[in-house]
Each structure stands twice: as structure tokens, then as C-alpha cells.
Amino acid sequence: MPGTTGCIAGLRRRGAIRLAAVAGITLVGAVCFFLFAPIIALFLRSTPGDFLSALHDPRVTQALVLSLETAIASTAFAVVLGTPAAYLHSRSRYPGRQLVEVIIDLPLILPPAVAGVALLMLWGRMGILGRYLHLAGIDIAFTTLAVVIAQAFVSSPLYIRQAKELFASLDPVYEQTAQTLGASPSTTFFRVVVPMTGAGLVSASIMAFARALGEFGATLMFAGNLPGVTQTMPLAIYSAMQGDFEMAITLSILLVIISFAIMALVRYTAKTGGPHA
Amino acid sequence: MLEAAFTRELRDYTLAVELSARAGEIIVLMGENGSGKTTTLHCLSGLLSPDQGFIRLGERMLFHSGTRTNVPAEERQVGYVFQNAAVFPHMTVQENVAFGLRIRGLPRDTVQDRAAEWMDILELRDLEAVRASKLSGGQKQRVALARALAIEPRMLMLDEPFNGLDSASHEIVQLHIRESVYRLRIPCLLVTHRWVDASMLGDRVYSLRQGRISQPGPLPNSFPKFHAYEPRYGGQTSIPWKQ
């Protein structure tokens, strides 16, 4: 009977849908477990009391302060130089434009350790430029400046890439309007382009900051691991793992908290102010 | 008086324009999409440079390929209303209208007074503090017009200023274009594809086809005409020919 077969087919379909839903939930759950369980495990190894008392350890504060200082400096570098560069790049057509795109993206795919060695080959005491700076009495490698350079090298492309896309998606008619109203290119940039892309630029810079904060490989190779000078939080964790396990856990939890705060901030800026809000 | 004769190489054809517009005159540019109307306005306003030819506004040479004169757009003092109004979404109505005045470094009071005057004229006073992103299409178009006129332009370029307007806004914008051009005694170029607007507002019409401009022609009188009349400011916006 057609009625019965239809009914069975309906039941079968409903069963299939339920099965698909269960499979889907399991899959998502497995992925979440894989990604989030290690973080839970990290928190389970420490008690709030231990964590708070370890926070007063001068080694922790030293690494934290150095990390924040260098990440702020490298992000500032990316924003100050990267914003106008990304704008000019996205608004002009010039020979070799494609090549510039590749060069900007390159540090993003370069393994950090390779980036560190490469920086050393350029700025190190025996490096191509470093040897002349050394003669002039300036040494960059294994200084706090080297930490900033390593961080900027890996994180600024992240910022520039996003800034470039933001500018490219802004209709040039706003700049043209400002121009016909008498605005110079710099006035147009600061009064029209930056405010209209501001929220996106802020979240891009927060992402770059997060990347700089977590930088490890390039810093280790190019700046070394000197407490108070080049030992940022990830390097301090690495050092602590050799002996002081509790310390490593405290530092790790601290970085996780900072990362979560950064993520929350990005989501907040993205929600409160799009380019046309 | 605006006089221009220039060419510019485009991807598919060469734009060759020859036109003139007297002070207080509205010239209509008509033509299909891609016929070069917007490019013509861009060349006249300085957003693009022609390859050859000249553009003269009154005594001032804005562009001359022979003498390599090319006054940049920001110094041409052109009131330009773009196709989608392009109000600055992050500014209020007042900030939009005052933008061109503020960046000229005029005294604060002058900026406020002049912006207020143009907001009154275009019936935007109640919306003064509203963010431009919150406005309707017709309101945005009025803000764009007020902003362009507030700088007391030496010529006016209007690119499809009636796109997407409801009939009430349409009438207000139409009326104010006529009154402002008359009041400021400036040449005006209007790009539109609607014959009604062209014949109600325009004094002469040029048509563009594949970058070639026609001889100017008169407009048909099939629609009631907005003719030059004494402007009456102070909030009244009734359409004269309707009375």
C-alpha cells in the first residue's frame, strides 16, 4: 500500500536524520575535546592558591613585563608602519605588486625557527648588516630589541594582511568625496579611511599582539633566552620545564588567561563597530 | 562659465568630450551605462586626469595638457554628489555637512553657522545629531547635497542624485538643486537617465555614446519646467509650478 510505504519511508528518513544529528554532535564534541581538554588539564594541575602565590615570583613578573613590553612595541611597529603601507598598497597599481604580496605573506608560512636563523644571518654579529653595525658598536642579536624584531617579523604580516583587505573592501567613493570637499590625502586618510576601518584595524592589531606574545622559535634563535633581557613568557615556560614544573604551569595558565582576554576583546570590537556602523 | 574639451583613453574606447556650461545653467549628461558619463564628471572634478585637452572654469585653467596644468581635485572647489550619496557613515549629519568647511580651517562659528544654514535649507536640522549611517536614502542624498553646497562650490556635479529617492525627497532634492544653482550662479552638470528629471531641471542636454559626446540639444517641453525664479529661502519648499 502506498500509504504504508510512505509511512515507512518517512520513519526511515526521520531515523536517518536522527543518526546524522548524533554523528554530527559526536564529531563536533570530539573536535572540541581535542582542542579544549589540554587547557582544562592545565588548569586542573594547579590550585588558585598556588597560582596566585606563584604570581608574586619575580621570575614570573619579569617574564610577564618583558613579554607585554616587547609585544606592545612590535604591535606598535606593525600599526605605525603597516597601516599606511597597507593603504598605499591596496590603493595603487604598480609593477611588482604581486611580488610585494608574496613578500608580505612569506613570514606567515615560514617556520619560526627558520625566521630566527634568517634574522641572525642579517642582523647577527656576523650577519650581512649586523657586521657593519657591530663595527659601529651596535649589537642587535641577543638584546631586547632582537625580541621586538623577531616578534614584529612574524606578527606584522598578520596585521598588514588584514589591513590590506579592509582597505580594499572600502569603497573609494568616500575618499573621492573627501577629496572633492577639499581634503588632502592625509586628511582623507585620518578623518575618513581610518575611522571607517577602525574597528577592523583594532581587531587586526589585537591578533598581531597575540601572535607576538606567543612568539617562541624566532625569539629563541635570534634573541636567546636571557632572563630579564630576552626571556619572554613562552621562553620562561620552556626554561621552567627543565626543572621547576609548577612555575611552568603558572606561566602557562597566565598566558592562557591573557589569550582568552585577547580573544574576547577581538570578538567585542568586531561586534560593536564594523566599518559601517 | 565652464568650458572643456578633452580626451581620455579608456579600456574599450576613447572618451572625447567637448562641452560648455554657463553660470546658473544645468547641463544634463545622458547615455547608457558605461558610456563615459561618470568618467566625464571625474575628469572635470580632477579625480581623473584627461590625456589631452583643457578644462577651464571662468578665468581659471583647471587642466591643460599643453602647459601641463592640472589643479588637484581638492583645490578645484567642486561640489560633487556621488551616485550612492557617499555620506560618511561614522559622522553625524552636522559633521558631514560641516566636513568641507572644517578642513578648510575656517573659524568654528563660521563652520557652525554655514553648516546650520545648509541644513535648514535642505530640511535636515532635526537630524543634525543623527549618525549618517542611520539615515534613509532620501535623507542621505540631501546630506550629500548640503555637504557639497556648503563649500560654496564653483561648479556642481551631480551623478544620478535621484537614485532610490521616494517622491517627497525627490521633490525636495529637485527643488534645491534648481534653487542652489540659481543662487550660487554656478555651472552644474547633472547625470541622469530619467527624461523627467532631465527636462524639468536641465537647460541643455548632451548625450554620450561610447565616449562620444553629441552636440548640445534643447530638452523637450513635455514636462512642466522648473525655470529660474526668485529663490525663496526660509524653510519653504513648495514646488513653484504646483502652485
Structure confidence by residue, pLDDT tens digits, A39-56: 999 999 888 888 888 888
Average pLDDT estimate for A8-12 = 78
pLDDT above 90 coverage of chain B, percent: 47
Model ipTM value = 0.86
Is residue B97 within 8 Å of residue B81, measured between CB atoms?
A: no
If one compares B210 and B191, the residue with the highest pLDDT of the two is: B191
Which residue from B46, B90, B147 is facing A196, i.e. has the nearest CB?
B90
Is residue B94 within 8 Å of residue B111, measured between CB atoms?
A: no
pLDDT tier at A247, thresholds 50, 70, 90: confident
If one compares A164 and A271, the residue with the highest pLDDT of the two is: A164
Residues of A with CB under 8 A from a CB of B: 171, 173-174, 176-184, 187, 191-192, 195-196, 198, 276-277
Residues of B with CB under 8 A from a CB of A: 42, 45-47, 73-80, 82-84, 86, 88-90, 99-100, 103-104, 133, 144, 147-148, 151, 157
pLDDT above 70 coverage of chain A, percent: 96
Average pLDDT estimate for B215-223 = 65
Per the prediction, chain B carries an average pLDDT of 85
pLDDT tier at B112, thresholds 50, 70, 90: very high
pLDDT at A4 over 70: no
Q: Please, which residues bridge with residue B61 across strands?
A: B56
Find the closest chain A residue to B44 by CA distance.
Answer: A180
For residue B197, what pLDDT is reported? 86
Which residue from A180, A192, A276 is facing B45, i.e. has the nearest CB?
A180
CB contact under 8 A, B86 and A179: no
| Integer CA distances (angstroms), B118 to A19, B57, B98, B243, in order | 66, 24, 9, 25
Closest CA to B138 of B112, B159, B167, B176: B167
pLDDT above 90 coverage of chain A, percent: 68
CB pairs under 8 A between A and B: 69
pLDDT tier at B144, thresholds 50, 70, 90: very high
β-pair type (B2-9, B14-21): antiparallel
Closest CA to A64 of A208, A191, A253, A196: A253
Distance from CA of A193 to the nearest CA of B (A): 10
Please identify which residue in the block is written with the cell numbers 604598480. Answer: A94
For residue B229, what pLDDT is reported? 41
CB contact under 8 A, A182 and B78: no
Rounded to the nearest 10°, the torsion over CA B213, B218, B222, B228 is: 120
pLDDT at B146 over 70: yes
Chain A residues within 8 A of B42 when measuring between CB atoms:
176
If one compares A273 and A212, the residue with the highest pLDDT of the two is: A212
pLDDT at A115 over 60: yes
pLDDT at B220 over 70: no
Q: Residue A74 corresponds to which cell in the numbers above?
A: 612590535
Q: Residue B171 corresponds to which cell in the numbers above?
A: 521633490
Which residue from A171, A182, A198 is facing B103, i.e. has the nearest CB?
A182
pLDDT at B52 over 90: yes
Average pLDDT estimate for B59-86 = 91
pLDDT at A189 over 70: yes
pLDDT at A168 over 90: yes
For residue B237, what pLDDT is reported? 37
CB contact under 8 A, A174 and B86: yes
Question: Cβ–Cβ contacts within 10 Å for residue A96, how many?
Answer: 8
Structure confidence by residue, pLDDT tens digits, B153-179: 999 999 998 887 888 778 878 888 888
pLDDT tier at A269, thresholds 50, 70, 90: confident
CB contact under 8 A, A179 and B47: yes
CA–CA separation, B202 vs B29, rounded Å? 9
